[in-house]
Structure 1
Amino acid sequence: MYFLLHYYVLFYCKTHPVNIIKVESVTDEIFRCTAEEDNYFARITNYKSLDEQLEEVEYTDFLYKEGLGVSPTVPSFNDKVVERITLENNEILTVLYKSAPGVHLSRNEWNADVLKELGRQIGKLHRLSNKFEEQQTIRYINDWQDNEEYDFLKYIPKEESGIRQMAREVLSSIKTLPKNDSNYGLLHGDLWLENILVDKGLDLTMVDFQDCEKNYYIFDLAVPIYSALEYSFVGGGNIIDYGKDITKAIIEGYQEENVLPSEMLEKLPLFIKLKELFEYNLMHMYWDKEKLTEEQIRIMNHFRMRIEMNHSILHL
């Protein structure tokens, strides 16, 4: 399958105005394509339907044209941004993106200055999302609660009663929040730090909008804060202070580009908890319970203890 996918990426790219000379796997769905004239990334997946992917690409291309740092798509010779290929009798959807500038920062570089710029870009993203939704009715991209990854009670085992109760409380609290144009709309949905590239002068590019959804805008702030605390802090100080510093920075940056109601900022710890439950649910969805590694068991137990004891990783 590995070599077959490479072959199909090369075949697929021949339908586009690019001269690919090398293909490398980044993930099971993303392939780095080196061409004579530039670099590209091909996404090959049926994770979302054709209609959802078309709407997602329309959204991200709009953001690109409005000047936000996102990767533009490359239309095929047929002027299609989402093409279909057949792989082992299965139809798979494909999108080709121009490579974004910048690099993934090392963990110790995710400081308050970078997070403030990220907050500013997220504020711009949400402002443009609102503009997009004024022009375009969203028909296929889901509201967050309609995505299976948030169906916590379906996947978290019944015997984990404390965690299931916490999940009920978090979901119930969020579902009662009011929705309006200032606090709810299209967002990235997965802005952990691996989905952000940084170029010279702190120019940022957001990649991988595959999980874009309609949600409360505060969630797009909760995810990178959670990501920085969970994966990027490498010592050299107090992690509680680090959390306070980056949270203050990302909110200040956001407010330079957009306004988020104060009552929603107060809900940031709630959405951090939503992200934590989301990650824990993914483990139950995708990990083989009969073949868990020691590292997977350690991670799951770490989450279990943190959630059951209602311990927050963010102290404001």
Structure 2
Amino acid sequence: MEKVVNDLFTENILHELAESFDVFSREFTLLGDAENYVYEVTKQASSFILRVTHSSHRDEAQISDELSWVDFLQRNGVSAPEVFRSVNDQFIEKVKAKDNSTFYACLFEKVAGKRVNIGEEVHNDKLFYSWGQTIGKMHRLTKVFSEQVDLFNRPSWKEEDLFHLGKYQNHPKKEVIQQFDHLVNLLNHLPQKKENFGLIHSDLHLGNFHYDESEEKLHVFDFDDAVFHWFASDLAIPLYYSVWVLERGNIAVNLEEFATRFLTHFLKGYETENQLSKEDYLAIPIFLKLRDYVLYGFFHKKLDIETITETQKDLIASIEERVINNRAIVTVNYQDILKSI
């Protein structure tokens, strides 16, 4: 979390928000603080997830639309967390900070299943298939949802704050900016229609779902990044982060072979619920490159580049090298994969 937000977020604000959901335990377990403060809390001997969001990240209307979409998905067969009302019968509670900005809070169900880590036995073809199938169901349903509800308050991909490197770097490298402009030009020429574009999760990596191995079922959470985007981006992100974790962990595996196996089973699952055109699938490398740029912006926004560790410097340098050289994190033969599904 940015220092300016951390300085505003006091214990009194946290406890006032928690108590509005009838949560009085002073033992909050912080699960994450990248874009939101996410806590596991206890209420009547059961665990819940309390998420606190600063107004510099999302406004109330954006959060409300996110919750509407999650509710629709849940009511139509996607295992997403239930959202609970506060003692004031509200889904969103808010408290003003000392600078007159606002912190918003929501209380979510803690979903079933377990987190999966790369290298575990359960990280296998069945999981990849279920992963793709779940995203396919979400894409199929979001097309129905868009016909029923107008969500004007969720951002479009063009509104991504992390695209604006000049806000976080004094002198962004011109080669990085040039490659980003090239990517945007490619995206602006992609077809954008109901069949391939809509509201997507946009961050469904291993850290944002639990898995029930016995039922081969994903329980999805963290819809904070929900955005209007090409469906192919939602396919690229699971592949991107799976390869990224393998690469960062120096795990002895051929990345191209892993990516081919992953995508083959992932897309077979996806196709059971939703189908895209061949051209949409072949656009996945564009979105792998876009994710590199987004992550590059994220690190410059969240980290003090002058004081980061050597490991963090190497990580950012590796992303920068790929961006400048217009190279995706992994290369596979998409034509062959599509023939196999």
TM-score exceeds 0.5:
yes
The number of residue pairs the alignment matches comes to 315
Provide the rounded CA distance (Å) in 2 between the counterparts of 1:157 and 1:310. 23
Deviation at 1:302, TM superposition (A): 1.3
**Mapping 1:101-180, distance limit 5 Å:** 101-109=112-120, 110-152=123-165, 158=171, 160-180=173-193
The verdict on how the C-alpha distance between 1:55 and 1:136 changes in structure 2, with shifts beyond 3 A counting, is same
Aligned to 1:195: 208
Question: What is the aligned counterpart of 1:53 among 57, 63, 66?
Answer: 63
- TM-superposed CA distance for 1:35, in Å, is 2.1
Aligned-pair distance for 1:308? 2.4
Q: Is 1:282–2:298 an aligned residue pair?
A: yes
SS in 2 for 1:208: coil
Q: For the residues of structure 2 that align with 1:309 and 1:155, how far apart are their CA atoms?
A: 22
Aligned counterparts of 1:173 and 1:132: Cα–Cα separation in 2: 28
SS in structure 2 of the partner of residue 300 of structure 1: helix
Letter in 2 for 1:167: F
Q: Write out per-residue CA displacement over residues 71-130 of structure 1, whole angstroms, 9 at most, x where no aligned residue.
A: 110011322111112455653111000111112112113333211110000000111111
Partner of 2:29: 24
What is the aligned partner in structure 2 of residue 40 from structure 1? 48
Query: Are residues 66 and 264 of structure 1, via their aligned partners in 2, closer, same or farther at CA, if it must alter by over 3 Å?
Result: same
Q: 1:16 to 1:289 in 2, by over 3 A?
A: closer
- The amino acid of 2:255's aligned partner reads I
Paired with 1:230 and 1:204, the residues of 2 have a C-alpha distance of: 21
TM-score by length of 2: 0.85
In structure 2, the residue matched to 1:267 is 283
Shifted more, 20-29 versus 67-76: the winner is: 20-29
Of the structure 1 ranges 206-215 and 286-295, higher mean CA displacement relative to structure 2 is found in 286-295
**2:268 aligned to 242, 247, 252, which one?**
252
Runs of 4 or more above 6 Å deviation: none
C-alpha deviations, 1:164-215, integer Å up to 9, x for none?
2211111110111111111000001111211121123222111111111000
- 1:106-156 CA-partner distances (Å, limit 9, x unpaired): 211333321111000000011111111111011110111112123356656
Matched letter for residue 55 of structure 1: D
Corresponding residue SS for 1:292: coil
Q: In 2, distance between residues paired with 1:167 and 1:153?
A: 13
Q: Does the 8 Å contact 1:196/1:206 carry over to 2?
A: yes
Q: Name the Cα RMSD after superposition.
A: 2.3
Counterpart contact for 2:20–2:93, Cα < 8 Å: no
Instruction: Give TM-score scaled by structure 1 length.
Output: 0.91
Do the aligned residues in 1 keep the contact of 2:23 with 2:41 (CA within 8 Å)?
A: no
Q: CA deviation at 1:57?
A: 0.7
SS at match of 1:26: strand
Tell me the distance in 1 between the aligned counterparts of 2:115 and 2:182. Answer: 36
Q: Which stretches in structure 2 are left out of the alignment for 5+ residues? A: 1-5, 333-341
Preserved CA contact (<8 Å) 1:10 1:23: no
Task: State how far apart, in whole Å, the 2-side matches of 1:315 and 1:89 are.
Answer: 47
Q: How does 1:209-228 map to 2 (within 5 A)?
A: 209-228=223-242
1:79 aligns with 2:89: yes
Percent identity, aligned pairs only, is 23
